[in-house]
Structure 1
């Protein structure tokens, strides 16, 4: 159990009550919890699952493997082949399941795990090779994690959202992805195949924007419950100009009939000044690594951004906010 709060007396009273009701002892400051390692320094708090990753490599016999610098080979698109070589289905499912637990502190694995998990029912040799490549990537960076750093002046909510149009070869559905930052530190992320087939890249990106807005609103309500109210609008960064134009201009009926509900939803939040939709260059879009198999250069750029961090003030209230965010962290 992790006990946190900004009132030392109340925290000690709660621990005392728990110790009277249950057999327990105080292990001191949080260092290790359910496989997640917590390190503190004057720069902030760093979360990783290094021991879990090394144990996984050791148990799978991959501790001496040749490391690679990305979890997915650039441009790789998995599919179900009619003549694919079958593999041990149970082993595949166990490996993917264990890798999924790493995703709590490894946003760099989100796209790779989202992709390989789609073939749990019928894995082939190419799918198993993709899983083994993830393990080889872990060998190159077993201690990768998330850094939460101090920042007294920056408390905004920012979202980077992207979509890969028709990227899935089997059903031509698009993949959406987003990163959300509170005050500059990464708190939630997602890589998910869309439910319907998009007929244009603008439609795919527009659905991704709607997904990002929903996540941003959830974070905003959570922060309000924690007593952290920011009057700044949420900035949602998208690199597709057509999708941004549709969001700001509701009269483009012919282009938006199939996403009409999303269009009204996003336009409402824009009109209320809750959300801003600035356009950014594709090369500055961090969410690219959540939607496609990118080059090692693009991938390393995104990963360095997350591990450097840039965020919360570690006053009593902000530490409480951080721990509450971590405890409520959503990963899908």
Structure 2
């Protein structure tokens, strides 16, 4: 990490902001001291699988900027955002002299969303994503990106967004390099 930091500092004007404190709205704490939670009951995962939320009229959630008519459409819109992020990373890598030689994989666990991109036939469920569809299709045809299917249990992002089994949760944390700082060694 120090070599990478030195290399980037020689190429770009930058400064170290120190240890991570917040990421995606999650506060990150590092401590060698007790948290005064010794009487708490431990659980295996942060949320319960298959838990049904009950919303009451006076407790409605925040209105979203985009309305999706189907889960496939919502997944596809997420894929489009992912493509935009990958294009930015691809340009950054190219500027650093590490231009990718093959398509960048954007793993997706929704077969319908992948099928939307590979099937040129117009479907009712895709009528709201046509602009996104043409943008992504152009990048797919140019072999800049590809959409390999990945099972939900191997999709690392799921651990940050939904309740998963204990096995999947712990496996994902390990792959993400996250460790329990309070666990005995």
Q: Same fold (TM over 0.5)?
A: yes
- 1: distance between equivalents of 2:100 and 2:58? 56
Matched positions, count: 167
After TM superposition, list the pairs within 5 Å mapping 1:293-308 onto structure 2.
293-307=163-177
- 2: distance between equivalents of 1:286 and 1:62? 28
One of 87, 91, 94 as aligned partner of 1:217: 87
TM-score, length-normalised on structure 2? 0.71
One of 197, 201, 213 as aligned partner of 2:67: 197
1:258 paired with 2:128, answer yes
Question: In the TM superposition, what is the alpha-carbon distance from 1:214 to its structure 2 partner?
Answer: 1.2
The alpha-carbon distance between structure 1 residues 278 and 36, as it changes in their structure 2 partners (threshold 3 A), is: closer
The alpha-carbon distance between structure 1 residues 307 and 66, as it changes in their structure 2 partners (threshold 3 A), is: same
Aligned to 1:282: 152
The alpha-carbon distance between structure 1 residues 63 and 223, as it changes in their structure 2 partners (threshold 3 A), is: farther
The alpha-carbon distance between structure 1 residues 281 and 35, as it changes in their structure 2 partners (threshold 3 A), is: closer
List alignment gaps of at least 5 residues for structure 2. 22-27, 179-185
The alignment yields a C-alpha RMSD, in angstroms, of 3.7
Q: Is the 8 A contact 2:156 2:176 kept in 1?
A: no
One of 10, 30, 49 as aligned partner of 1:50: 30
Q: Is the 8 A contact 2:93 2:99 kept in 1?
A: yes
Question: In the TM superposition, what is the alpha-carbon distance from 1:202 to its structure 2 partner?
Answer: 1.1
Q: Is the 8 A contact 2:106 2:145 kept in 1?
A: yes
Aligned to 1:71: 46
Aligned to 2:7: 6
Question: In the TM superposition, what is the alpha-carbon distance from 1:80 to its structure 2 partner?
Answer: 5.5
The higher relative CO (CA closer than 8 Å, separation ≥ 6) is in: 2
